[in-house]
Structure 1
């Protein structure tokens, strides 16, 4: 009577282990690529959300600009224009806007003063709850980083584009924003003033 062995040979085990190892390495590499791709997508999504949020703030603020100058001192003649751009190094863009929520119906204005600054490639929104602030600290909000430039063109009533604005009483009809970003490149938006 002849005995038949019922097992795997050493060679068969080595081949099976090699195949399993190759499959494991391939699966791990695939999983690693998926996780890396997910991280890159998440980072890009965060950058896009910041850009969209910035554009939303700019659009909302610019659409609600009102022709209300700001008193800069205690005298009646000391006023800053309702809207200014490109006049000094104090801020990029400064204006008075309406539309401030007052859900508790408090005895306060629905206006606020807003200024956009570009500081070390960061676009910062400063806001004051009182239009006629004197020595009050603004609420600062960093909207977007990696901003290389922030330029405006302003459409006057005569349909001529201007590089700066100094008219004390009139507002531009529209604002064309050209923002240059390290990641997104050049972005141009047109905002009408209502």
Structure 2
């Protein structure tokens, strides 16, 4: 009888421990995705070449200089995922899913006259700030402001 009680308590403790470990792994993966996403956005946008940015309802495209190489990048939201596509080599684009399970995404640009735009093309004014905002079930509303050097 004592052995049965000890076995039951041990099993419950082990089961709880395994559930907590799985929850931690999920949380760690979500945190890694969020950090990766914010890192790519910060790096790509701050290194925009000649302040070239094209903003549309589906996402945005930029030309960015990294490691002395000119990159053509597109960001878009598809199937609740933020996708970064490097189209520098048009025949072999490289696609990277940055973060999954997002909703209510929006992107806008603040111009040199302190006016926000949801559609943007070169020649409007100089872009100063890009704001990316989305909802995530684990993190709530995430908003990233990236300042562009003039």
Q: Rg larger in 1 or in 2?
A: 1
Out of 119, 124, 132, the residue aligned to residue 164 of structure 1 is 119
Match for residue 125 of structure 1? 84
Partner of 1:49: helix, strand, or coil?
helix
Give the Cα–Cα distance (whole angstroms) in 2 for the partners of residues 171 and 181 of structure 1. 31
Q: 2:54 aligned with 1:84, yes or no?
A: yes
- The higher relative CO (CA closer than 8 Å, separation ≥ 6) is in 2
Out of 50, 55, 80, the residue aligned to residue 67 of structure 1 is 50
8 Å CA contact retained: 1:67, 1:171: no
Deviation track 1:141-186 (CA, whole Å, cap 9, x = no partner) reads 1111112132122111112222221233754111111112233221
Match for residue 25 of structure 2? 42
Give the Cα–Cα distance (whole angstroms) in 2 for the partners of residues 170 and 20 of structure 1. 77
Structure 2 regions of 5+ residues with no counterpart? none
Match for residue 36 of structure 2? 53
Matches within 5 A, 1:143-158: 143-158=98-113
Aligned structure 1 segments of 4 or more residues deviating by more than 3 angstroms = 168-171
Structure 1 regions of 5+ residues with no counterpart? 1-17, 69-81, 102-108
8 Å CA contact retained: 1:83, 1:171: no
Match for residue 19 of structure 1? 2
Q: CA RMSD in A?
A: 1.9
Partner of 1:165: helix, strand, or coil?
coil
Measured at CA, do residues 64 and 152 of structure 1 come closer, stay the same or move farther in structure 2, by a change above 3 Å?
same
Q: 2:65 aligned with 1:98, yes or no?
A: yes
Give the Cα–Cα distance (whole angstroms) in 1 for the partners of residues 120 and 7 of structure 2. 66
Match for residue 192 of structure 1? 147
Give the Cα–Cα distance (whole angstroms) in 2 for the partners of residues 53 and 157 of structure 1. 29
| Greater fraction strand | 2
Give the Cα–Cα distance (whole angstroms) in 2 for the partners of residues 161 and 113 of structure 1. 24
Match for residue 114 of structure 1? 73
